[in-house]
Amino acid sequence: MKFPRNSKLLRSPFDAAPFAAVFFLLVIFLVLESFMPTPGLPLQLPRASDLPGTDQPAINMAVDQYGRYYFASHIVPWAALSNDLHSAVSTSPLPLTLVIHADRAVTYDALVQISLLARNVGITNALLATLPDDPGTRLPSP
């Protein structure tokens, strides 16, 4: 069968309506996606710079502004936190460092209690997690 060589593939004028509909659907999906909650714990960590880290194995826990304790991605009560930390220490061949992700609103008393609990289960080093400091907001050095 022979096809004519002068035939046009698109015989109708360009129609922008389908493209506009797809564009508006994409805009709607992007706007709706911005309202979806992101997984994770909403913490406002304090900012600091030049703090020491650790080269030892570390375990992480978090405390939110309402005083809830998180360990291994679960909310744990205070009594269970002691058991969980003790089991983590007993299974590790090396000394562990506890990294505490505490919200800005957490009191100093709560941080001291967590550090004492960690010392009682055998963790001698506890560090506070911070965000990197903005260069423009540094405090003047004494």
CATH number of 123's domain? 3.30.420
Report the domain count for the chain: 1
The DSSP symbol for 135 reads G
Could you tell me which residue, 15 or 116, shows the higher pLDDT? 116
**Residue 61 domain-assigned (yes or no):** yes
What pLDDT is stored for residue 81 in this prediction? Answer: 92
Does 111 map to a domain? yes
Question: How much is the average pLDDT of 114-142?
Answer: 80
Q: What range defines the domain where residue 104 resides?
A: 47-133
Enumerate residues 6+ apart whose C-beta is below 8 A from 131.
45, 46, 47, 48
In a domain, 33, yes or no: no
114 part of a folded domain:
yes
pTM (predicted TM-score): 0.68
- Predicted pLDDT of residue 141: 53
Residues in CB range of 109: below 8 A, 6 or more apart: none
The reply to whether 122 falls in a domain is yes
What residues form DSSP beta bridges with 127? Answer: 99
Q: Return the pLDDT at 21.
A: 93
Does residue 138 belong to any structural domain of this protein? no
The whole-number average pLDDT for the span 98-124 is 92
| Spatial separation of the C-alpha atoms in residues 115 and 103, rounded to whole Å | 15
The answer as to whether 93 is a domain residue is yes
Nearby residues of 105 by Cβ (< 8 Å), 6 or more positions away: 44, 65
Burial grade of 59 (CB within 10 A; 0-12, 13-18, 19 or more): middle
Closest CA to 119 of 84, 78, 69, 82: 82
Burial class (CB in 10 A: 0-12, 13-18, 19+), 26: exposed
